Amino acid sequence: MTASRMRIVLSALALAGATLLVAGCTATPEAPAPTSKDGGAATTAPDDDVIGGDVEAAWLDGGRAIGVVTWGSSTCVPIVDDVSADGQMISVALSDGDENQPCTNDLVPRATFVAVPEGVDVTQDVELAIAYGTGTEDADLDGLAEAPAGMSENAPSAGWFADDGIVLLTYGSSTCQPLIEDIEQSDAGATVTFKTTDRPCTMDFVPRLTTITLPMEHDDGPFELTLVGDNLDATVAVLD
């Protein structure tokens, strides 16, 4: 298992689009409703000032982007305040975004979308310095076999952040994240079924990151995701 598959970090990118309706949707099934930390009704975003746990990273979109994985509420994913690069070192500043946003009282791996700055050679090892609140953590990624060519096609992609953890990148409404219904794993891949439900969604088109925890750890070797349902049907090779 490479070092990049033992790391974790998260994402959500808010891009303005034509908005019809706004609905809060989570990226995981059976997510708890927004509550306070003591079990009350609604609450604002967590007031943690430091990163809670390890931070990891996963290659996405052939190396054009990175999923930075942190731990916290599934409905309050950190946003990117700033990204810069110095050689093979990428510095990322994260924040909680809207302080008044209600958050579920769960603790899960969440991924934040980070575009790779110009000048970074993704075929060489990359180091990341992640600042979030008053905390700072490091993560690293092994170089890819080849650099991406041309512009992104906005197609689904995925990368490892742990032996049993994958960050999945899809595109669609920012307020209607994919909801996982079932995962069936084999030696060479997994079929991920998503809930198909009617729900009000904004009419924007943005990158959305979903963290997938497999039933079993995967050894080194090719691994493929088969996506089923919610108009996400595709086959995706997981980047290592």
- Are 140 and 3 within 8 A, CB to CB? yes
The torsion of the CA quartet 143, 145, 147, 153, rounded to 10 degrees, works out to -110
Spell out, as residue ranges, where the chain has pLDDT lower than 70: 1-53
State pLDDT tens for residues 157-181.
999 999 999 999 999 999 999 999 9
Count Cβ atoms within 10 A of the Cβ of residue 128 and give its class: 0-12 exposed, 13-18 middle, 19 or more buried.
buried
Nearest partner of 178 among 112, 225, 230, 227, judged by Cα: 230
**DSSP-based three-state secondary structure for 238:** strand
Size of the chain, expressed as the number of residues it contains: 240
Whole-number pLDDT of residue 54: 83
Whole-number pLDDT of residue 97: 81
Whole-number pLDDT of residue 197: 87
**DSSP-based three-state secondary structure for 3:** helix
Whole-number pLDDT of residue 53: 64
Whole-number pLDDT of residue 133: 85
- Are 127 and 116 within 8 A, CB to CB? no
